[in-house]
Amino acid sequence: MACELLPTGNAPRYILLYEAAEGGAGVLRRLLKDPQAFPAVAREALRICHFNPDTGEDEGHAPGVSEICEAACYDCLLSYSNQLVHRLLDRKAIRDILMDFQSGIVSIAPAATPRTEHLAQLNRLCSSKLEESWLSFLEDNDLHLPSSAQGFIETCKTRPDFFYEEHNAAIYIDGPPHQYPERKQRDLTQTACMEDRGYVVIRFGMNDDWGSIVKKYPTFSGVASEFCGRISRQRPRTRVGCPARVRS
Ligand SMILES: [Zn+2]
């Protein structure tokens, strides 16, 4: 694994981690798929920073070393490659967050905002309780959240309830009004128009088994291709394996 601070310059706000080995080593994929992986990383980071991972107690230095490590030493955070930021490194500043990370789980944000914030935005856009329940269902089951809600698609004069950018998939959750024949016909025409233009239309109702619907479409689960995309734009050769795009 390698990392870079972004944006580069004096005030970086993010840490970009990527797989430096050509073709990738599967590390990022595992961090997403194995619920134990990220806590294990946090635990190892605490150990490297001279903290007891169970208690958080400061052991002061690496085993077998007598000199106390105040902020950082070559046994923990310092390396020759990060010399430019040595004065900023302080192992004590990250203890609490690493302790929290030990009980954390990794979830994938479909946008550049944190998942919780994105979910709140989607909820604000919902036009029915049914749509809100669908979002809660996705959240409770750790599934991918849509990229947007209630966006109008001009060419087919339709406004899907939700949309997944990466999979080009439009989601419609039909409430009781969709049972009327006239409405049913309009829905069919819109679906045909969307499919002709290459969209994947996923339409279901309040009484359908949502569990089997999410199993049927990789749009909702699997390793997020959004995540892959973001990594591959930075480092084209280190692309994490992505699921094939869905085409109905
Ligand atoms: Zn140290």
pLDDT tens digit sequence for 155-213 = 899 999 999 988 899 999 988 777 788 888 888 999 999 999 999 999 998 889 999 99
3-state secondary structure the chain: CEEEEECCCCCCCEEEEECCCCCCCCHHHHHHHCCCHHHHHHHHHHHHCCECCCCCCECCCCCCCCCCCCCCCCCCCCCHHHHHHHHHCCHHHHHHHHHHHCCCCCCCCCCCCCHHHHHHHHHHHCCCHHHHHHHHHHHHCCCCCCCEECCCEHHHCECCCEEECCCCEEEEEECHHHHCHHHHHHHHHHHHHHHHCCCEEEEEECCCCHHHHHHHCCCCCCCCHHHHHHHHHHCHHHCCCCCCCCCC
* Cα of 151 from ligand 1 centre, angstroms: 51
* Cα of 65 from ligand 1 centre, angstroms: 10
Question: Which structural domains are found in the chain, ordered by start?
Answer: 2-101 (no CATH), 115-216 (3.40.960)
pTM above 0.85, yes or no: no
pLDDT tens digit sequence for 29-66 = 888 888 889 999 999 999 999 999 999 999 999 999 98
* Cα of 93 from ligand 1 centre, angstroms: 13
